[in-house]
Chains A and B, each alone.
Chain A
């Protein structure tokens, strides 16, 4: 029986590892479908940003209560993983609490500490679930934000239920374990009762030893199988931010938010037009200006899309969205990820190569009306707790619309014409530019 459990565990672990590896690899390959962009300069500054924003959760604390609850879940997950290591070793070796004899008295303190963390995760997740279901937080409401209807809303709740079940499994497992210790079952090493799970012990009053062992095993399996399922689920879910928040903040932009990414491919042509440079045979006209689809964006824009956890702080701060326009920066990120998932499936179905499917990010996922409504105010960029930049994507899509398709709104074309002929966005003669000085008397 014990050997059978070991075999099942090892097969399960191997299967899950393979699934997660294949998903991670696909996500990596779809991110790399984006254009090259160097984001490795100033490693010290980047590391500091990651430590502050991802490890330290700095931006989450802009709202102290939510920040604190989120921190409880985050720190719980990071540290409880140390215990998962023990659970995995136990599973493979067919042992029970393999670290207990090694760590001696310290072991009980450690598990007690983990239990406190688990309780924090449990409490925070229950509050979050109530908040998502009962309290109507505006940014989560599909009636107001169409991108939230259906799966995204369900996804958010599934994750919370998952975490609640996992934490209840570990706490009741420890409680059953303590009761079995008190019964003197030799398989259960004497560690004493634990700080939180002792309060769950009354649940098991009157249970006989066999039923307790079955429950303890059930909770153990529920917990570890739940973690395995969660690991796979993660790769399909908005919850991927728990992994990608770290690289995403590390590779975030270091330049001032107002600076737009330059298009050096245009510079040499402009220099020729201004007579600053001779026509160079080597200068190649890019096949596309701006971004029509995900492959025209940079890999960092695509990593941004996978890092988004759909919290909607960006959309809540967006002046266009606040005043009822179709633009929602969160939807820009979700659409980009949806497109990437479609591209990934396409690649899988075609032996790793993307076969054009007559679809594009702009038009089929994101509408022109959305990108035109942006005031480039950077409120979305400012708000994002993991330093995602929706504005960068919007502006690249605009460049495609305006330069490649020549599809600018009429009044913008007027403005361009004025700039080209009078060097001012309005229809004034350049000769009159200095007339204001007559007012200085």
Chain B
């Protein structure tokens, strides 16, 4: 079989050829710049290609949604970024957005409407679940997860913030993985420690770092794979795993990477 050719069309290219994508893939800053999360972006793009989804990205026309500025109390910077993004999105007539970042997801979905930006916004866990349900993606030709013990770490901005608990779990179950829950999960899920701007500053004085507390819970399940669905969680949990010197025996993957692996992508 020939080497598959993956495409990453931009909105600008689409507009130039008078085409409209089914969905805009909002990559986010971590997905664009963080070396680890870039691999998630690539995995998701491969899945979209394989599922023959007509998608596009903004490329260099994308900016931060403004979430970290807003949570850190800087409303000016947030609104500047949000307003510019809305201008770009509306210029291209974007209707539907999918993103792998729960923070981008929350901001685009819940906070842009008040500033004039109205879109249908999905998190990639919901989108992957839809693709699986529609039969556009099915685990085949790749790694099998049957009997593999996987635990899912809820992202606060997906879970409590937006009540999405089942979509990522159903994606994992579709892979036949043996899903095992941590002591604190779903509505009781413990934060990784990165939200609310914490990603960008040192923590306040305390007994322990939050990501250490959380990785201990994840390790206590005995799972050899920790699944996440958020770039910040990925960074914090990976950091915690290094601290526990368990990087060799336990792996952390985004749910999109696991789906890609199951498809040999």
Which of A's residues lie within 8 Å of B, judged by CB?
Answer: 255-260, 262-264, 266-267, 269-271, 273-274, 276, 289-290, 317, 319-320, 322-327, 369, 372-379, 381-382, 395, 398-403, 408-409, 411-412, 414-416, 419-420, 423-426, 428, 430-437, 439-441
**Which of B10, B71, B87, B160 makes the CB contact (< 8 A) with A382?**
B160
**Which A residues touch B34, using CB under 8 A?**
426
Cβ of B195: which chain A residues have Cβ within 8 Å of it?
375-377
**A262–B114 CB distance below 8 A:** yes
- A377 contacts which chain B residues (CB < 8 A)? 156, 160, 191, 195-196
Decide if B75 touches A320 in the complex (CB within 8 Å). Answer: no
B160 touches A381 (CB 8 A): yes
Instruction: Report the count of interface residues on B (CB-CB < 8 A).
Output: 75
A319 B75 Cβ-Cβ under 8 A: no
Contact status B79-A266, CB under 8 Å: yes
As a 0/1 sequence over residues 174 to 205 of chain B, the CB contacts with chain A under 8 angstroms (1 = contact) are 00000000000001101101111111111111
- The smallest beta-carbon distance between A316 and chain B, in angstroms, is 11
Cβ of A409 to closest chain B Cβ, rounded Å: 5
Residue pairs across A and B with Cβ atoms less than 8 A apart, 11 shown, are A255-B110, A257-B160, A258-B106, A266-B79, A377-B156, A409-B202, A411-B201, A424-B33, A433-B27, A434-B32, A440-B6
A375-B198 contact in complex given A263-B75, A403-B74, A434-B59, C-beta closer than 8 Å = yes
Q: With A263-B75, A433-B62 given, is the CB distance from A379 to B160 under 8 Å?
A: yes
Q: In the complex the two chains form, is B33's CB within 8 Å of A432's CB?
A: yes
In the bound complex, CA of A441 to CA of B265 (Å): 11
Cα distance, A274 to B194, chains bound together (Å): 31
Q: Can you name 15 extra interface pairs (CB under 8 A) apart from A375-B196, A382-B160? A: A255-B110, A260-B70, A260-B71, A273-B80, A323-B206, A324-B206, A325-B205, A379-B160, A411-B200, A412-B197, A414-B200, A423-B81, A430-B60, A434-B57, A436-B31
Task: Give Cα A270 to B116, complex, Å.
Answer: 13
B7 and chain A: residue at smallest CB distance: A440
The segment from B16-24, B41-49, B143-151, B237-245 that touches chain A is B41-49
| Contact A376 to B68, CB < 8 A, known contacts A260-B111, A415-B200 | no
Contact A401 B191 (CB under 8 A): no
**Residue of B whose beta carbon sits closest to that of A394:** B196
A374, A408, A441: which contacts B196 (Cβ < 8 A)?
A: A374
Cβ contacts under 8 Å, A376 to chain B: 71, 156, 195-197
A432: chain B residues within 8 A (beta carbon): 33
B158 CB, nearest partner CB in chain A, Å: 9
Determine whether the beta carbon of B83 is less than 8 Å from that of A276: yes
Would you call B39 and A439 a contact (CB within 8 A)? Answer: yes
Complex Cα distance, B42 from A87, in Å, reads 74
* A436 lies within 8 A of B213 (CB): no
Chain B positions 206-263 with a Cβ under 8 Å from a chain A Cβ: 206-210, 212-214
Smallest beta-carbon distance A257→chain B, Å: 5
Given the known A-B contacts A432-B33, A433-B62, are A320 and B200 also in contact in the complex, defined by CB atoms under 8 Å?
A: no
> Cα distance A255–B163 when bound, in Å?
11
Asked whether any CB of chain A lies closer than 8 Å to the CB of B161, the reply is yes
Chain B, residue nearest A426 (CB): B33
9 smallest beta-carbon distances between A and B, as pairs:
A258-B161, A324-B207, A376-B196, A402-B73, A423-B63, A398-B73, A377-B191, A324-B206, A259-B110
Contact A319 B191 (CB under 8 A): yes
Interface status of B162 (Cβ within 8 A of chain A): yes
Cβ–Cβ < 8 Å partners of B53 in chain A: none
Contact yes or no, B29 A425, CB < 8 A = yes
What residues of chain B lie closer than 8 Å to A408, measured between beta carbons? 72-74
User: What residues on A are CB-neighbors of B160 within 8 Å?
Assistant: 257-258, 377-379, 381-382
| Beta-carbon contact of A325 and B204 below 8 Å | yes
Tell which of A267, A415, A440 touches B79, judged by Cβ atoms closer than 8 Å.
A267
User: In this complex, which of B57, B81, B206 has the most chain A Cβ atoms within 10 angstroms of its Cβ?
Assistant: B206
CA distance A439 to B62 in the complex (A): 18
Instruction: Out of B59, B73, B81, B106, name the residue touching A395 (CB < 8 Å).
Output: B73
The interface residues of chain A lying within 8 Å CB-to-CB of B66 are 419
List chain A residues, Cβ under 8 A from B209: 323
Most A C-beta atoms less than 10 A away, residue of B79, B204, B205: B204
Cα A326 to Cα B42 with chains together (Å) = 40
Chain A residues in 8 Å Cβ range of B202:
409, 411
**Cβ of A441 and Cβ of B6 under 8 Å apart?**
yes
A419 touching B161 in the complex, CB below 8 Å, given contacts A382-B187, A428-B33:
no
Contacts of A433 in B (CB 8 A): 27, 32-33, 59-60, 62
* Cβ–Cβ < 8 Å partners of B130 in chain A: none
Min Cβ gap A393→B in Å is: 13
* Also in contact, A424 and B29, with CB within 8 A (given A258-B161, A433-B59, A436-B38): yes
Once bound together, how far apart are the Cα atoms of A19 and B157, in whole Å? Answer: 46
Shortest CB distance A342–B (Å): 25
Contacts of B75 in A (CB 8 A): 263, 266, 289, 399, 403
Beta-carbon contact of A419 and B64 below 8 Å: yes
Which of chain A's residues has its CB closest to B155's CB?
Answer: A377
Contact (Cβ within 8 A) A439 B33: no
Chain B, Cβ-Cβ closest to A273:
B80
Please tell me if the beta carbons of A436 and B42 are within 8 angstroms of each other in the complex.
yes
Q: Which of A273, A416, A436 makes the CB contact (< 8 A) with B32?
A: A436
B76 on the A face (CB < 8 A): yes
| Residues from chain B with Cβ under 8 Å of A273 in the complex | 80
In the assembled complex, the Cα of A256 lies from the Cα of B159 at a distance in Å of 11
- In the complex, A381→B111 CA distance in Å? 19
Name the residue of chain B whose CB is nearest to the CB of A391. Answer: B196
A319 to B213, CA, bound (A): 9
B72: nearest chain-A partner, CB-CB:
A412
Q: In this complex, what residue of B is CB-closest to A317? A: B188
Contact among B162, B193, B205 for A319, CB-based, below 8 A? B193
- Residues of chain A lying within 8 A (CB to CB) of residue B72: 398, 402, 408, 412, 415-416
B115 at the interface (CB under 8 A from A): yes
Interface string of B1-16 (1 = CB under 8 A from A): 0000010101000000
* Contact call B208/A378, Cβ cutoff below 8 A: no
For B191, give its contact among A256, A379, A414 (CB under 8 Å).
A379
Least CB distance from B105 to A in Å reads 9
B133 at the interface (CB under 8 A from A): no
